[in-house]
Amino acid sequence: MPIEPQGLVLEEHAVAVTANTIVDVLPAREAFGRYLPVRRVTLPEHVLIPGLVNLHTHAAMALLRGIADDLPLMDWLKTRIWPAEARHVSAAFVRDGTLLACAEMLRGGITCFNDMYFFPEAAAEAASCLGMRAALGIIVIEFPTPYATDADDYLSKGLALRDRLRDDPRITFCLAPHAPYTVADKSFERIATLAAQLDLPIHVHIHETKHEIEQSLLQHGVRPLERLQRLGLLGPGMIGVHAVHLNEREIALLAENGCTVAHCPTSNMKLASGVAPTVQLATMGVQLGLGSDGAASNNRLDLFQEMRHAGLLAKVTSGDAAALDAHALLRMATLNGAAALGMEHRIGSIEPGKAADLCAVRLDALEVRPCFDPPSHLVYAAGREHVSHVWVDGVLRVDNGMLTGYDASQLLDTVNLWQNRLTA
């Protein structure tokens, strides 16, 4: 399933890869006559799709998985998450947590993730260790953390890291102001200027809860999205995360400015934030991608789950069983996410000239048989446990469900140590 053009399913086809690049997509019979490969991988009961793109996560929070369940967002943040981060977040925490997240995501077919967290240099180290592709957020928040002291310090450190990693082929950057309720106007204005000067996407939580909107009206006299528009942040490079509580004018505003929404259905449900109006957004032409959010508010970094939940929520809220069909959901999990990050020329579909970021999904197990429609099966029947092989930049990173070139047992020992610290 190449994803582009949308809706296409190619049976009995092959993908030819040289080094890290796809050079051909053609019928298997023709491929055997045209190419003499060094290695041939035959996947007779599989669907091959592009590597999935997780458009919003806080990867290092994998170490906080399940630490604060069954709480609404602001209680979750103020009473559990922020205090735990204040005590424990460090470069080592971020490196080890991101390693755990990358291992989980890779085994679930995710080859690229868009991250927002502290100590992004440690996240880059972890992603590189496992060979993943990462868009790292230059996070901005007004209050001090173990990583930085104020908004200027966050920006300075993040931009310096971007300069150091400029030539890394798998690491890119976004400007990542945390949210309207944690970032001041002056900082937002500087971010808008930097985004235009450096051609960087802006990755920001927006309209996640009703409380956020009420507080914005009290403090600023306008709803958060209108405030961001006045400050110059809305545009084709803006990725608005969650976007649950939108009125018709705001949906039109996102569409007019070419913004993307990173839809995180599982996290939205678990924190009781609400259901994003994805059908209206899609109808108005707003590009939709999929994100898991962090494991502390979702518990799984699983885009197969996000596709399924996004599809079911769209149908039940719209009353239209045809809303967001399987092809649209697969595109949200691949090419749309890549486009939001400015990477659609390189990843997100299986086309000649693009990087060989590929995911093979087995469809021969009892629970996924019979299979009448592979796209529908990927969304509604199969799961990340059926991912057998994953390549990033042409390198095999998951082979028959197992990570290659990495000792997962050592990682488990490290995670156990962190659990002991966090429990104490």
- Selection from 124, 126, 115 nearest residue 164 by Cα: 124
Contact (Cβ atoms closer than 8 angstroms) between residue 50 and residue 359: yes
Q: Structure tokens of 18?
A: 């040289």
- The DSSP secondary structure of 234-301, one letter per residue, reads -STTEEEEE--S--HHHHHHHHHTT-EEEE-HHHHHHTT-----HHHHHHTT-EEEE----TTTTS--
pTM of the model: 0.97
CA dihedral 337, 296, 419, 424 (to 10 degrees): 150
CATH number, position 340: 3.20.20.140
- Cis previous bond, 5, omega within 30: yes
- The DSSP secondary structure of 126-145, one letter per residue, reads HHHHHT-EEEEEEEE-SS--
For residue 390, give Cα distances in angstroms to 94, 114, 219, 322, 360: 24, 18, 47, 30, 6
d(CA 50, CA 355): 10
What is the span of the domain harbouring residue 267? 1-424
Q: Bridge partners of 362?
A: 46
- The DSSP secondary structure of 189-233, one letter per residue, reads HHHHHHHHHHT--EEEEES--HHHHHHHHHHHSS-HHHHHHHTT-
d(CA 133, CA 339): 14
Q: Residue 358, Cβ neighbours under 10 Å: how many?
A: 22
Q: Structure tokens of 320?
A: 């239209």
Q: How many domains does the chain have?
A: 1
User: What's the confidence (pLDDT) of residue 55?
Assistant: 98
User: What's the confidence (pLDDT) of residue 414?
Assistant: 96
- Selection from 160, 53, 146, 170 nearest residue 92 by Cα: 146
User: What's the confidence (pLDDT) of residue 317?
Assistant: 97
Chain mean position to CA 231: 26
Write the single-letter amino acid at 398: V
d(CA 383, CA 378): 7
Rounded to the nearest 5 degrees, what angle is found at the Cα of 170, between the Cα atoms of 169 and 172?
Answer: 95
For residue 42, give Cα distances in angstroms to 14, 22, 101, 201, 362: 9, 16, 29, 38, 12
Q: What is the mean pLDDT of each run of 10 residues along the chain (424 residues)?
A: 97 96 97 94 96 98 93 86 92 98 98 98 98 98 95 98 97 98 98 98 97 96 98 98 98 98 97 96 98 96 98 98 97 98 98 98 97 97 98 97 91 95 89
Contact (Cβ atoms closer than 8 angstroms) between residue 73 and residue 273: yes
**Which H or E run includes 395?**
strand 395-399
User: What's the confidence (pLDDT) of residue 74?
Assistant: 84
Q: Bridge partners of 136?
A: 115, 173
Mention every residue, 6+ apart, whose C-beta is less than 8 A from residue 166.
Answer: none
Scanning the structure block, which residue is given the tokens 């197969």?
304
Is 366 strand, coil or helix?
helix
User: What's the confidence (pLDDT) of residue 137?
Assistant: 98
**Sign, Cα dihedral of 351, 352, 358, 363:** positive
The bridge status of strand 13-18 relative to strand 21-27 is antiparallel
